[in-house]
Amino acid sequence: MNKMIMKVLARTVSLVVLVSAVVLMSNCGGDDPEKSAQEIQLGKLSKTWNIVSASLGGANRTGDFTNFKLTITGTFNSNAPNGPYNFSVSGARPTPSPWPANGTWSFVNIGTGDSGSLVRNDGVPMVYTINSSGQLTISDLICTSCDYAGAAGRTEAVNGNWTFVFN
């Protein structure tokens, strides 16, 4: 009779182990949704970036942007993945400037890898690229009537195609 009880007990334990394993395996990973391209890129862009260089139409304008910082922030919203998201700037900038003190931007297109197109809430388009060393380049920031950071007037001093490089 002891042998009979031992067999039943062994089978019961085996059955419990088998059912536990099936339940455990059915709850293992694989069900987490993949992050969208916008969510991934927002994660890479969201930080405070320090200026390395600035140019307008190929002319070096870095000296006009002493201690310039671009801060990009935002919480990903799956209902509006393209944004808008926030930016603000600090440090010196020329008067007038191609950068308002703050605003929003949205994804227009995300290319392959770490690049894409953005547009600011003022309609100014931009192209961004994050290189393998983590530098952010914003190019094709095309101002046609930028007059931020001061008195309007000399907009020809800031209008054109800007390129900014940040660390």
- DSSP letters for 86-141: EEEEES---SSBSS-SEEEEEEEEE-SSSEEEEEETTS-EEEEEE-TT--EEEEEE
pLDDT tens track for 73-83 = 999 999 999 99
Could you report the per-residue pLDDT of 17-59, keeping only the tens digit for each? 544 555 455 555 556 679 999 999 999 999 999 999 999 999 9
Render pLDDT for 5-16 as a digit per residue (tens, 0 to 9). Answer: 666 555 655 554
Domain positions in the chain: 37-166
Task: Answer for the pair 85, 70: CB distance below 8 angstroms, yes or no.
Answer: no
Mean pLDDT along residues 117-141: 95
pTM of the model: 0.76
